[in-house]
Structure 1
Amino acid sequence: MSLYLLFDVGNTRLKWAAVESSQKPSDQQKKLWAYSGSISSKSLQSPEHKAELADYIAKTLPKPDAIGFSCVAGADAIDNLKSLFPQWGDIEWKQLRGDSSYEGIRTLYQDPSKLGADRLAAVIGARALSKSNTLIINAGTATTIDLLGSNGLHYGGWILPGLGLMQKSLEANTAQLPLAVRGDAPLGFGRSTNDAIIGGCDAAQLGAIQFAIDVAKDLNHPVERIWLDGGNSKVIASEINRLGKLKSLTIEPSEGLVLRGLWAWLLNNP
């Protein structure tokens, strides 16, 4: 049995998973990952936490045939990640970067080396799952929105603060606004400061998504499907459904879209 070990090192979370070679990135079954986990990305800075993670993975799964990763947390995080398994020194670590190639996808980014590796991985993951005009939304520390055409062309995208960053920035940079707490407030204008902050931040995210749909239509690539990933994906999906204005679209929460893209890329670049 061949096994691939995958790491997605984000600004906040490090996600990892292992998949068997008998499976395919296009598979949408719920029990896709043979093994998986998630910890704080800052854990890579702690020798104790690094040792715990390495020991857990090495004892949980067989020695992998390949290790693939993407990282947006900086060079130190990459060095710390690649030092996890000295006992597997013969395994090549393969890094997906923003300018990595993938058959069937081309980007219009002016400088592909500046494209976030997580964004490219998510685009590849979405391509593995569908061939339609697609918005790929990764709702994490930052929210990224990318358009992938059915022709395999990545038209670029947007980066905006994620829900948590929006809310914390209001608390940190104003004299009287608190850190808001999400409740069960109705849609519409907030009737308390807390609800005004939560509703305003939600509106900014949903407004960006709706605007992206409009721009894609102007490009003659009307969005047929939205793939959602990231720590805030369930919140965004819930608010989209509550809003009820995107019923014509297929909205797919897809946990591990970056990991899926890494997997597809590894198969494409053995």
Structure 2
Amino acid sequence: MYLLLDIGNTREKAALFDQGEIRTLSHLTADTLKTLPLAAVYFACVADDSRLSALQKRLALDHLPWHQISSQAKAFGVTNSYAEPQRLGVDRWLGLLAASRLYRGQSVMIVDAGTALTIDWLDKEGNHLGGWIMPGLRLQQQSVVQQTAKVFNTEPIDAQLLPGTETVSCLQNGCLAALTGAIRQGWLLEKAQVLVFTGGDAPSLISYLPDLDISPEPLLIFQGLARYIDQ
């Protein structure tokens, strides 16, 4: 049994990988892990080193090997498009690795809707065709509020694909339109046969794109991590 960790900018997500199966962990604490027969930890981290160190200490798993996965020029039949492959975000790299196994022989457009929203394209031969990065739904709104004097926002987000009639709805609806518009524009490029969504905001965004044939893959990043174990 292996512990899989996706350490993001705002939080960490965890799962267990055992005999080909992935099961998410809702509570990541030393108490929840201490009775498990763990062999090693495989993790991806886009946060800074101090956050990683604090997590390692909190989980009390110093006795296990920790394997950090980084983006590569090529692995498992997937070729990175970056001239400096290590600069591709590891979460994007893992999404490509997972998609290449899940949709073997098909071209894929991967939307990862988190703090940032990323779109990546993978052709049917496993070549990464490049991608886009943009602020996610909340980050877009925060940016506008922080950089302007008279625009404000409320929580929770209740966006609609309609014109707003006061500042909050104008902001929220506009940011939603920007993201869904980018996704539609990406799909219109006709570089993929399959449209895959993952990330925390994926369920919400999918609901605003009912006409698109979307394959939700909430475990995509963990499936990419598992490729380094289940080769």
1:95 paired to 2:68: yes
Which residue, out of 253, 257, 262, partners 2:220? 257
Asked if the contact 1:106–1:154 (Cα under 8 Å) also holds between the matched residues in 2, the reply is yes
Matches within 5 A, 1:123-162: 123-131=96-104, 132-162=106-136
Partner of residue 43, structure 1: none
More helix by share: 1
- Do the aligned partners of residues 38 and 261 (structure 1) sit closer, same or farther apart at CA in structure 2, a change above 3 Å counting? farther
Partner of residue 57, structure 1: 33
1:112 paired to 2:105: no
1:228 paired to 2:191: no
Aligned partner of residue 96 in structure 2, secondary structure: helix
- Do the aligned partners of residues 101 and 86 (structure 1) sit closer, same or farther apart at CA in structure 2, a change above 3 Å counting? farther
- Do the aligned partners of residues 102 and 177 (structure 1) sit closer, same or farther apart at CA in structure 2, a change above 3 Å counting? same
Q: Quote the Cα distance in structure 2 between the aligned partners of 1:212 and 1:251.
A: 13
One-letter identity of the residue aligned with 1:197? L
Which residue, out of 3, 7, 10, partners 1:9? 7
Q: CA deviation at 1:73?
A: 0.3
One-letter identity of the residue aligned with 1:145? I
Which residue, out of 94, 98, 109, partners 1:121? 94
Unaligned regions of 5+ residues in structure 1, if any? 25-31, 40-52
Cα offsets for 1:183-239 (capped at 9, x unmatched): 374x33223322221221111111221222233x3xxxx322221111111111111
TM-score by length of 2: 0.89
Q: Quote the Cα distance in structure 1 between the aligned partners of 2:151 and 2:196.
A: 33
Aligned partner of residue 226 in structure 1, secondary structure: strand
Asked if the contact 1:124–1:265 (Cα under 8 Å) also holds between the matched residues in 2, the reply is no
One-letter identity of the residue aligned with 2:42? G
Aligned partner of residue 26 in structure 2, secondary structure: strand
- Do the aligned partners of residues 184 and 84 (structure 1) sit closer, same or farther apart at CA in structure 2, a change above 3 Å counting? closer
Matches within 5 A, 1:185-204: 185=160, 187-204=161-178
1:66 paired to 2:40: yes
Q: CA deviation at 1:175?
A: 1.5
Q: Quote the Cα distance in structure 1 between the aligned partners of 2:165 and 2:59.
A: 53
Asked if the contact 1:9–1:72 (Cα under 8 Å) also holds between the matched residues in 2, the reply is yes
Aligned partner of residue 267 in structure 1, secondary structure: coil
The alignment of Structure 1 onto Structure 2 pairs a total of residues equal to 229
- Do the aligned partners of residues 63 and 88 (structure 1) sit closer, same or farther apart at CA in structure 2, a change above 3 Å counting? farther
Q: Quote the Cα distance in structure 2 between the aligned partners of 1:193 and 1:200.
A: 10
Q: Quote the Cα distance in structure 2 between the aligned partners of 1:253 and 1:10.
A: 20
Asked if the contact 1:63–1:88 (Cα under 8 Å) also holds between the matched residues in 2, the reply is no
Unaligned regions of 5+ residues in structure 2, if any? none
Cα offsets for 1:8-54 (capped at 9, x unmatched): 00001200010211x25xxxxxxx41x51267xxxxxxxxxxxxx22
Asked if the contact 1:102–1:265 (Cα under 8 Å) also holds between the matched residues in 2, the reply is no
TM-score by length of 1: 0.77
* Aligned-CA RMSD value: 2.1
Asked if the contact 1:82–1:93 (Cα under 8 Å) also holds between the matched residues in 2, the reply is no
Q: Percent identity?
A: 31
- Do the aligned partners of residues 36 and 176 (structure 1) sit closer, same or farther apart at CA in structure 2, a change above 3 Å counting? same
Asked if the contact 1:167–1:180 (Cα under 8 Å) also holds between the matched residues in 2, the reply is no
